[in-house]
Amino acid sequence: MTTTAQTPSVVDAPPVLEVKDLCVTFQTETGSVSAVDHVNISLAPGEIVGIVGESGCGKSVTSMSLAGLLPRSARIDGSVRLQGQELVGAKPSALRAARGRDIAYIFQEPMSSLNPVLTVGRQVAEVLQVHERLSRKEVQERTVELLELVGIPSPRERVKHYPHQLSGGMRQRVMIAMAVACSPKVLIADEPTTALDVTVQAGILDVLRGLRDRFGTSILIITHDLGVIADIADRVVVMYAGRVVEQAGLHELFERPQHHYTAGLLSASPTPGRHAGTHRLQEIPGLVPVLSRQPDACTFAERCPAASERCSSKAPPLEPIGVGGGPLQPHEHLTACWHPRGDQPRQSPEAPR
């Protein structure tokens, strides 16, 4: 399994995307639901950051809020700055101009995201027509180039095809072509390999890696698949119940998880190469808390083997391991836990090589 090392240039560069104290709440019939609670994330130029966590932990809501894709019922507070431009509270016209040109989004389900009555070529071309001043012929040629860039064979023929005529992997590549048509600075990929077999999945990750290497695109990848994260990410952000509970470089997080939830996720993940029946996956006991009743405490306390009375009475801050206070640095190992694991060995799965 290949991994991407985080270089000093990535770490030291100013962030292209900076998220501070992001909160997203929804008003429902039963009251207010806090889907995202004071999330802080940064993304350096050319960096690939993975956001992981169980279903319902707030990954997709976080990513969609960055691109202004949430419904009007969502209340968004905090700050999202893209190359210095504030997106929270920006006018709809400013958001439309930024989407596709500066920040692009790859959705989970390409079959439901693509228009079934339009050819894939026309759908890719539409992005270029909206954001680029190109002639009709230039748009056509650029559309073919984009399909070729993402690894679609016979692109001049494929531009005439409809989504149902393509495989799942090809449809996902079309979605990527649409997202990178205008060479955005930030690409958000929400579960880009869901429901794809491992061979096609590897191909999609290669495409994303190639875009980063060729254009310097920063990528935020959202997934519950730790194998995907191990294959492509420089840095990992772990979310639980709408909050960031741990953040670290890829190898550091896999080898020395500090939050007990992160350790639980890693232990619950199958490890390639282990003989079936010789190793039992370790499930995380208990249930995810109800988001409409977010306590001022550690949200993982009821499921944590190391929880104390303090965990149930006050929420731990996200801070560097063994250090209190001071500004947070994106390359540091951060955790929100009153009782971090320290140097406890992790049993499974093995850290990526």
- The amino acid sitting at 197 is D
CB atoms within 10 A of CB 71: 7
Q: In the prediction, which pLDDT does 31 show? A: 79
pTM confidence score: 0.87
CB atoms within 10 A of CB 108: 18
Residue pair 244/213 in contact by the 8 Å Cβ criterion = no
Residue pair 223/191 in contact by the 8 Å Cβ criterion = yes
Per-residue pLDDT of the chain (353 residues; tens, 9 = 90+): 444 444 444 556 789 999 999 999 998 887 788 999 999 999 999 999 999 998 889 999 999 999 999 998 899 999 999 999 999 999 989 998 898 889 999 988 888 889 999 999 999 999 999 898 899 999 999 999 999 999 999 999 999 999 999 998 999 999 999 999 999 999 999 999 887 888 888 999 999 999 999 999 999 999 989 999 999 999 999 999 999 999 999 999 999 999 999 999 998 877 655 545 556 778 888 888 887 766 789 999 999 999 999 999 999 999 998 554 455 565 789 999 999 998 665 544 444 44
The CATH architecture of the domain made up of 1-88+223-268+283-353 is 3-Layer(aba) Sandwich (3.40)
What residues does each domain of the chain span?
1-88+223-268+283-353
Residue pair 4/234 in contact by the 8 Å Cβ criterion = yes
CA–chain centroid gap for 258, Å, is 21
The residue among 179, 166, 194 whose CA lies nearest residue 55 is 194
* Beta strands in 85-126, from DSSP E residues, in sequence order: 85-86, 103-106
CB atoms within 10 A of CB 208: 22
Residue pair 242/261 in contact by the 8 Å Cβ criterion = no
Cα–Cα distances (Å) from 62 to 34, 65, 91, 288, in that order, read: 12, 5, 19, 18
Q: In the prediction, which pLDDT does 163 show? A: 95
CA–chain centroid gap for 274, Å, is 28
Q: In the prediction, which pLDDT does 4 show? A: 45
Q: In the prediction, which pLDDT does 241 show? A: 93
- The amino acid sitting at 18 is E
Phi, psi angle pair for 82, to nearest 5°? -110, 110
- Cα distance between residue 339 and residue 215, in whole Å: 42
Q: In the prediction, which pLDDT does 327 show? A: 55
